[in-house]
Amino acid sequence: MKKLVIIMSALTMGLAGCGTQSDDPANNPLLQEWNTPYQTPPFSKIELKHYEPAFDYAIEENRKEIEAIINNPEEPTFENTILAMEQSGELLGRVSGVFFVLNNSDTSEEMQQIALNVTPKLTELGNDISLNPELFKRVKAVYDKRSELNLDKEDMQLLEESYKSFERSGALLEGENKELYRKYSAELSELTLKFGQNALAATNAFALNITDAKQVEELPEFVKEGLAAEAEARGEQGWTVTLQAPSYSPFMTYSSQRDLKEKLYRAYNTRGIGGETDNLEIIRRITELRLKIAQLLGYECYADYVLEDRMAENRSTVTGFLNELCVATLNYAHQDVKAVTEYAHSLGFEGELMPWDWSYYNEKYKEEKYSINDEQIKPYFKLENAKEAVFMLANKLYGLTFTQVDNIETYNPEATVYEVRNADNKLMAVLYLDFFPRASKRQGAWMTEFRGVSIKDGEEQRPLVQLVMNFTKPTANTPSLLTFDEFTTFLHEFGHGLHGILAQGKYESINGTSVKRDFVELPSQIMENWATEKEYLDLWAKHYQTGEAMPAELIEKLVAAKNYLAAYFNIRQLSFGMLDMAWHTITEPYTGDVMAFENKAIAPTQVLPAVDGTAMGPAFTHIFSGGYATGYYGYKWAEVLAADAFSYFKEKGIFSKEVADKFRTEVLEKGGHEHPMILYVNFRGHKPQTQALIDQMGLGK
């Protein structure tokens, strides 16, 4: 049951033709035993025509497994009910693991259509399981006598999570309400999928081609090279800017062409507004369906339903947390904007600084204030060196080694594969790395798994972990040189990866990153801290051409600049969390103007002028198609945890084995085996304090 919930939360984008051979399980590679290293997916054998028949077959197999549990004549026990459910759906999990991972990172129109075809079937299966009264009766029978079963912590957690999953998926509903739950959840699954497809299509639909050399002459060479390579790849002359982050962000940062930047800004911030990729009505309907489901289950709003199963536990805690951070940092954010604006005026800029002006002038101000910019840093952050540096950090902290292999297939030529082993040479994971943007990949960066950690019949299954980024591409003349933000993103996603790689435990559904959503960002957020540690940078940051170490003076500037505009960026992040909470605390369906709703929700965080006709919500995939609904606050929540946790490393040494071993055993290995606050206190010795983050941002100093 929990496994199916995980599968459903992965639905994002997604088509296929069906050949007769692929209808036969014996001829479908997704359904066969994989005679590959570590049972990794044989991507070269899997064709689009295989997916839908494989889903149909695996769904039916899962139904048979569930029927066997229901019809078992023996009294319900942990083994014949809870454990049997946990181990059911293995084939479906394997098919879903391949399909939905690739649908995010290497999709096509055909795959997106397959996703639209199979999503209703998966939703129907999920509902048939969670709403089956006979199955729930068996689960409840075991749950009701849990205190007598002498279960260990993992078994007890699996039992409690299994029961809770039924309860929260409508098992206690009766009659018409059960059918309404089915109807609402089916439509919601399809709409969240469609939202993500629209956002990807809107991102890919716009490009700005520039043929006047004067309009790019001021850009750093690395930016011009990237734009020229994009133009060449498209068969265009000159330089092409897209809405992909490695293209859009550098142009907005280094170009003074206000008219072009306004055009780009408006394109970026109107994705999902109007036309074939319109998401406005989808937002209204998604939030209405979530509200209806929550109210069917007895909650006033969707946030109440979600947060009951989060570390924060209730909406008053979340809204209080967001407001506390906002009040503590808003004046500092206004001061940040004022300082950059005054600097822009000192350079001759007239009038109000608009959002499309912001990156250009704040970068210039940063360069003047700290004598540092990305052009200085990038030569020391060659992707291959950064990758080895991230591996080295994992080795120093956790004794892991990473060996690239060529005997394991990848799904795309740009992806690479590594065996990850511990100090005893035990295989811990297979790691897939996928660094560069392409039209078949959604924006952003993320970690996911083709499969997680579990133990069945005494045999341990280690995870197949995927890290996906959208970093600056190499060009004909220059290797991939990361910006500081890109390197920080690498560390962040690698932290998620470690959560999967180091996972231990019997049950996949509560191992690794299968934790409460507002706790899952701790392992990733804490890793970002090493990006500005001189002791770490000294070990690896070498110029890609000369091999010379990053000068101490440059490292000092990098460290000094780490809190530059910290309040502004904090407020910006809070605006995302507040918009998320606003949509999911409505108690009546919202039928008004979506953009007006957004403007009102983020008004307390508005420190730059609002731009009519633009909005972030229609492309906000995290909350409308990515599983973070009523959870975006979790990034700031985890920043507090990470700030407090990293202070322990600072106290004992940033490579302290003592602290790393404790973090590994109490947090990374245990996944969702216990309540996250218990795990955190076991590691740190006390509960986290919001002030730790404010102190780390250096505000008031």
Going by their DSSP bridges, the two strands 446-451 and 454-456 should be labelled as unpaired
Nearest-angstrom CA–CA distance, 440 and 592: 34
Question: What's the burial of 629, exposed, middle or buried (CB within 10 Å: 0-12/13-18/19+)?
Answer: buried
- For residue 31, which amino acid is it? L
Is the Cβ–Cβ distance between 282 and 190 less than 8 Å? no
Is the Cβ–Cβ distance between 616 and 279 less than 8 Å? no
Going by their DSSP bridges, the two strands 207-210 and 239-242 should be labelled as antiparallel
Is the Cβ–Cβ distance between 206 and 196 less than 8 Å? no
- For residue 267, which amino acid is it? A
| Of 499, 450, 495, residue with least CA distance to 673 | 499
What residues are annotated to the active site? Answer: 493
Nearest-angstrom CA–CA distance, 409 and 463: 16
Q: How many Cβ atoms from other residues are within 10 Å of residue 181's Cβ?
A: 21
Is the Cβ–Cβ distance between 638 and 521 less than 8 Å? yes
Residue environment code for 517-548, b if the CB has 16+ CB neighbours within 10 A, otherwise e: bbbbbbbbbbbbbbbbbeebbeebbbebeeee
Angle at 521 between CA 515 and CA 527, to 5 degrees: 130
CA distances (Å), 558 to each of 335, 374, 484, 698, in order?
Answer: 21, 10, 9, 15
Per residue, the 3-state secondary structure of 495-556, as one string, reads HHHHHHHCCCCCCHHHCCCCCCCCCCCHHHHHHHHHHHCHHHHCCCCECCCCCCECCHHHHH
* Residue 576 CB partners (closer than 8 Å, separation 6+): 616, 620, 622, 632, 635
| Of 228, 127, 133, 109, residue with least CA distance to 181 | 127
Which sign, positive or negative, has the C-alpha torsion 530, 430, 386, 223?
A: negative
Backbone φ and ψ of 609, nearest 5°: -60, 140
Angle at 404 between CA 403 and CA 409, to 5 degrees: 135
Kindly state the tokens that stand for 644: 């407090």
CA distances (Å), 290 to each of 9, 127, 264, 380, 565, in order?
Answer: 14, 16, 33, 47, 36
CA distances (Å), 420 to each of 36, 466, 498, in order?
Answer: 17, 12, 10
Nearest-angstrom CA–CA distance, 377 and 355: 25
